[in-house]
Amino acid sequence: MKTLVITLLALAVALGPTAGPTLAQDKSVFIPLLVYRTGPYAPSGIPIANGFVDYFTMLNERDGGINGVKVAWEECETQYDTKQGVECYERLKGKGGGALIVNPYSTGITYQLIPKAQVDKLVVFSMGYGMSAASDGRWFPWVFNFPTNYWSQASAVIRYIGTQESGLDKLKGKKIAHIFHNSPYGKEANPTLEDLAKKHGFELTQLAVDHPGQEQKSTWLQVRRLNPDWIFMSGWGVMNQVAVKEAAAIGFKMDHFIGNWWSANDSDVVPAGDGAKGYKGATFHAPGTNFKVHAEVVKFVYDKGKAVGKKEEMGAPLYNRGLVNAMLSAEAIRTAMGKFGNKPLTGEQVRWGFENLNLTDQRLEQLGMKGFTHPVKVTCEDHEGNGPILVQQWDGKKWNIVSDWVAPMRDVVRPKIEAAAVDEGKKLGYTIRDCSKEK
C-alpha cells in the first residue's frame, strides 16, 4: 500500500507539468484565455468566456479567421485567483508561436501581468477594468483599457444622475451613496467621486462592503438612516445579488440605484426576482440579441453545434461584453495586419495595431454591431479612448437601454489619470515615452 503511494507520488512529480499539446496551428494568431468557469465568480466568468469564444469561432467559421489567418486560443481556468492566474499566464504565454494578447478578466491578475507582459512583449487588454492609470499610453505602452475605464465611468454616472435631476447644478445638496467592494477594484471610483462631490456640491457617502459580501445588513441599515437620493454600486460576485435584494427589501427606489458594469448582469438580478425591477446598470455596449452579429453567431456557431454555452444565455450583458472584447481584439489584430501583412504577427506588431485602432461607425456597421457599442479611437497618449456609457435597466425579464450615450467628464478624469500614471509608472521603474516619435 505504502509503496504504491510513493510510486504514485513519484509518478505525479515526474509526469507533472509537462507542456500540454499545442492546439494552435502554424498559420494562426494565438490568444490565451484566462477564464473562470468554476468557483464563486463563475456566474460572471462563464458568460464572458462564452461570448469571447463564440465570436472567435464565428470568425474562423465564417471568414477563416482574421483576414484569412485563423484564430487559435486555449482556455485556462483561474477561478479568479491571482496565483492560478500567474500559473495560467506562464503556461500559455509561449504556446502557439507566442501569445499576442492576454485578457486577464480580473483586476488582481491584471496588476500581476502589467509588469510581466512588457518584458514578454504581449499586450494586456483589460477592457474597462484593471489599472485606470494605464489609460496614459505614454507610461504604459503595453496596456490598453479602452473603450473606457472606472474613473470615466464614475464621472459619466454622475453626469447621468445630473440629467435625471434635470441639470448638474441641481445635484447641489443631493445625497449620493457609493457602495463598494472593499478591495482595490471597488475603491477605484472613490477619488473621482470625491472630486465631483466637491465640484458639484452633492453629499457623498462611501459605504464599504467587505469581501465576499454575503451579509450586508449593516450597510443597508446605514442606507436606511442616510436615505440617499441615489446609490452607485461597485460590487462583485455575491455582493451584487445580496445588495440588489436588500435594496428591494428595504423598499429603496430601484430606479435610483445604479450598478457599475460589473454589477449589472442577469445573474445579479435574478435572485431578487420582481424586487429587482427598475435596477439600473452602467455599460458600454447594449444588452440583448437584436443585432446582426448575434444572428451571425447563431448561424455559424450555435446552428453548427460548435457553441460551448446555451443559446438562451446569449445576450446577457456579460456575454455581450465577451463579444465586444473579442471584436476589439480582432479589430486591433486586423489593424496590425493592415500594416504588417496577413500573417501570424508578433507581440510588437499587435501592440501597434492596438495603438492605432480606429473603430468607426461604418466599421461597426460592417461588423453587424451598429448601435451595439460605441466607435473608439486609440492613440499613443490615450489607451482608454474615453468612451461614453449607456445606462441599462432591468424590467424583470431583460435589460433595456434607457439612456443615450453619456459622455464621461474628461476634463476631470484625464488630469487624474496623468498624475496617477506618473506614480504607478515610476513605481515600476518605467519612463515616459515621447508620442510624437511614434509612427
Partner 1 sequence: MTETLLAVLRPFAEIAGSPAFFIEVLIGGVCAGLMYSLVALGFVLIFKASGVFNFAQGVMVLFAALTLVGLLERGVPLALALPVTMAVMVALAFAIERMVLRPLVNQPQIILFMATIGMNFFLEGLGEMAWGANVKKLDVGIPDKSFMVKGVQINQLELVAALTAAVLVTVLAVFFQRTRIGRALRAVADDHEAALSIGIPLKTIWVVVWSVAGLVAIVAGIMWGAKSGVQFSLSLIALKALPVLILGGFESVPGAILGGLIIGVGEKIGEVYWGPLVGGAIENWFAYVLALAFLLIRPQGLFGEKIIERV
Partner 2 sequence: MIYREAGQFKTTYASDQAIFPIVQDRVFVALFALAAFVAVPLVANEYWLQAVLIPFLIYALAAIGLNLLTGYAGQLSLGTGGFMAVGAYAAFKLTTAFPALNILIVFPLAGLVAAGVGLVFGIPSLRIKGFYLAVATLAAQFFLIWLFNKVPWFVNYASSGTITAPPRSLFGVMLTGPQATAGVRYLVALSMVVVFALVAKNLVRGRVGRSWMAIRDRDIAAEIIGVRPMRTKLLAFGISSFYCGIAGAEFVFLYLGSAETLAFDIGLSFLVLFMVIIGGLGSVLGSFLGAAFIVLVPIFLTNAPHTLGFNLPVALQKQIELMVFGGLIIFFLIVEPRGLARLWQITKEKLRLWPFPH
Closer to partner 1 by Cβ: residue 208 or 402: 208
Exposure letters 95-105 (e unless 16+ CB within 10 A, then b): bbbbbbbbbbb
Q: What angle do CA 368, 374, 377 make, to 5 degrees?
A: 110
Decide if 326 contacts 51 (C-beta within 8 A): yes
DSSP 3: H
Alpha carbon of residue 168 to chain centroid: 28
Dihedral in degrees, nearest 10, Cα atoms 378, 383, 385, 386: -160
C-alpha cell at 387: 468612451
Residue 118 or 267 with smaller CB distance to partner 2: 118
CB of 186 vs partner 1, minimal distance in Å = 10
Q: Which helix (DSSP H) or strand (DSSP E) does residue 26 occupy?
A: none
249 in contact with partner 1 (CB under 8 A): yes
Q: Is 210 in the site for partner 2 (CB under 8 A)?
A: yes
Residues 1-30 that bind partner 2 (CB under 8 A): 1-2, 5-6, 9, 12-13, 15-21
Q: Does position 341 bind partner 2 by CB under 8 A? A: no
Which has the closest alpha carbon to 294: 370, 394, 402? 370
Q: Is the peptide bond between 147 and the residue preceding it cis, with omega within 30 degrees of 0?
A: yes
As a whole number of angstroms, the distance between CA 359 and CA 255 comes to 33
Residue selected from 149, 267, 320, 356 as contacting partner 1 according to rule CB under 8 A: 267
Q: Does 114 bind partner 2 (CB under 8 A)?
A: yes
Q: Is 342 exposed, middle or buried (0-12, 13-18, 19+ CB in 10 A)?
A: middle
Binding track over 261-300 against partner 2, x by CB under 8 A: ----------------------------------------
Q: Determine which residue in the list 35, 42, 100, 337 makes contact with partner 1, applying CB under 8 A.
A: 42
Binding mask 46-85 for partner 2 (x = CB under 8 A): x----------------------------xxx-x-xxx--
Distance CA(382)–CA(379), nearest Å, equals 5
Which of 67, 163, 164, 183 binds partner 2 (CB under 8 A)? It is 183
Instruction: Identify the residue among 38, 290, 362, 366 touching partner 1 (CB under 8 A).
Output: 38
Q: Which does 271 bind (CB under 5 to 8 A by kind): partner 2, partner 1, none?
A: partner 1
Residues forming the site for partner 1 (CB under 8 A): 37-40, 42-43, 46, 182, 206-210, 212, 214-215, 217-219, 221-222, 224-225, 237-238, 241-242, 245, 248-251, 267-268, 270-273, 275
